[in-house]
């Protein structure tokens, strides 16, 4: 069923895996409208990241918690530039590795490693719940963070469990560069030029609302979303939509919070919507 999205215009708000998601949608016949939500840059000062890498090598972690795949890739990029990548992979291989959802696990596999455990829910709260079951007292724990997020609940919970937490923030977002793209996407939805918007992380919802408010387009955004099928990859995104008074029309079944199941769910929902419209 390679043409099951033929004739539909799908808006995607991605950066990190935009190319992959776009390809999968195009393979199903969709016309993909891409709207990068932000540009990702290496940390402007590499010194703290390099220092974290060297500490990891000199005093290896007992546990490693990865919040994003992008974070590990940026760490490895700097490690390779400094000739430290082989040593870093060797010490990380001996640590227990925990990931927030599947994307960091994929990044681990790219360097020949595997996560010992992945969160049931790909959220910070899910990470806290996962690690709460462990005895971390006196253990050295490496924690990769990501931008534009208050991580105090996570670091506080780990410290309360007695862990020696060593954090690193290997990249930053440049959100202003993408504001014009977001405004254009809002206009497209409001004018009925988009059949479905596919949301794959809760940060996308926040950025849509943030930019719409800043540009005086919140009413237009909500009107556009009223006429657009809203597809959410999972409960974290759906929860963020609900927090802003927005609905979720479709989400993958059976906790399959990945791109392919999301695309399948979208195709079914769009077909149902088309059939219902034809019947009226």
The CATH architecture assigned to 9-38+175-279 reads 3-Layer(aba) Sandwich (3.40)
Cα gap 66→96, rounded to integer Å: 11
d(CA 92, CA 107): 13
Break the chain into its structural domains and give their ranges: 9-38+175-279, 41-173
Model confidence pLDDT, tens digit, residues 44-95: 999 999 999 999 999 999 999 999 999 999 999 999 999 999 999 999 999 9
pTM score: 0.66
Least confident residue range of 56-60, 165-169, 221-225, 272-276:
272-276
User: What pLDDT score does 16 carry?
Assistant: 54
Confidence band, pLDDT 50/70/90 cuts, at residue 1: low
- The answer to whether residue 20 scores a pLDDT higher than 80 is no
Rounded distance, CA 267 to CA 198, Å? 11
pLDDT at 209: 95
- CB atoms near residue 160 (< 10 Å): 10
Given this model, what pLDDT does residue 68 score?
92
Residues pairing with 11 in the sheet: 33, 197
pLDDT at 186 over 90: yes
CATH topology of domain 41-173: Rossmann fold (3.40.50)
pLDDT at 83: 98
Compute φ and ψ for 70, nearest 5 degrees. Answer: -60, -40
Look at residue 252 and tell me whether its pLDDT is greater than 60: yes
- Say whether 41-173 and 9-38+175-279 share the same fold: yes
pLDDT reading at 17 higher than 70: no
Cβ distance 200 to 14 under 8 Å? yes
């Amino acid at each position: 069923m390679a043409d099951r999205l033929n004739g539909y215009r799908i808006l995607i708000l991605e950066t990190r895996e935009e190319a992959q998601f776009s390809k999968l949608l195009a393979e199903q016949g969709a016309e993909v409208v891409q709207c990068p939500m932000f540009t990702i840059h290496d940390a402007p000062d590499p010194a703290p990241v390099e220092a974290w890498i060297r500490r990891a090598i000199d005093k290896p972690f007992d546990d490693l918690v990865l919040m994003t795949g992008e974070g590990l890739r940026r760490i490895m990029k700097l490690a390779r530039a400094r000739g430290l990548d082989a040593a870093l992979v060797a010490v990380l291989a001996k640590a227990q590795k925990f990931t927030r959802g599947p994307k960091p696990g994929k990044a681990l596999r790219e360097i020949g490693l595997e996560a010992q455990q992945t969160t049931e829910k790909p959220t910070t709260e899910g990470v806290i719940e996962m690690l709460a079951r462990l005895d971390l007292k006196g253990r050295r724990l490496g924690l990769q963070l990501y931008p534009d997020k208050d991580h105090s609940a996570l670091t506080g919970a780990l410290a309360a469990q007695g862990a020696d937490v060593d954090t690193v923030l290997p990249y930053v977002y440049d959100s202003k560069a993408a504001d014009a793209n977001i405004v254009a996407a809002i206009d497209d939805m409001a004018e009925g030029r988009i059949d479905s918007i596919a949301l794959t992380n809760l940060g996308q919802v926040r950025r849509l609302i943030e930019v719409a408010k800043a540009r005086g387009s919140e009413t237009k955004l909500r009107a556009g979303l009223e006429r657009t099928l809203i597809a959410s990859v999972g409960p974290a995104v759906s929860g963020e939509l609900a927090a802003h008074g927005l609905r979720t029309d479709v989400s993958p079944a059976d906790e399959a919070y990945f791109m392919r199941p999301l695309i399948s769910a979208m195709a079914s929902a769009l077909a149902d919507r088309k059939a219902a419209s034809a019947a009226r």
